[in-house]
Amino acid sequence: MSALLLIENIYYITHIGDSRIYCYECENETLTVLTNDDVSESGKLTACIGQNENIFLQYSEGVASGKIFLVCSDGLYKKMDTGFLANQMKKCNKRSLKELIVSLPQYVMDRGEQDNISMALIKMEN
């Protein structure tokens, strides 16, 4: 589970598992992963909701304005090149959000991804 809550100009994130939240800062053109995967070196999921009673949810918060958030499943990021993703986010504007929603899954499917792909893009204006 990766959850992104936006209230006015602040974002709040809680996370556990192997989905992911990226943040692209438009002003300085940087892409950051805001969540850490709960996956072993062999690729096995090590933490998830319902696994046991002692789960630890990751939490973070920050300023949201001027940022684009990508919330996605592991089906999108496993075969994603982060340089390609950063370049696509750099080109992002209101009209191209829809294009990005279509092109990113196609990019990873063209690279052989067969897992399910879920994603949401949110652009916060200054």
pLDDT tens, 62-105?
Answer: 999 999 999 998 888 888 899 999 999 988 766 688 889 989 99
Higher-confidence residue: 16 or 71? Answer: 71
Across the chain, what does the average pLDDT equal? 85
Cα R_g (the chain), whole angstroms: 15
pLDDT at 119: 93
Residue 26 to residue 62: CA distance in whole angstroms: 15
Confidence category of residue 38, pLDDT binned at 50, 70, 90: low
Residue 25 to residue 72: CA distance in whole angstroms: 17
Angle at CA 4, nearest 5°, toward 72 and 99?
A: 45
Q: How many CB atoms lie within 10 A of CB 44?
A: 9
Q: Which domains does the chain have, with CATH numbers?
A: 2-123 (3.60.40.10)
Q: Are 117 and 72 in contact (CB under 8 A)?
A: yes
| The length of the chain, given as a count of residues | 126
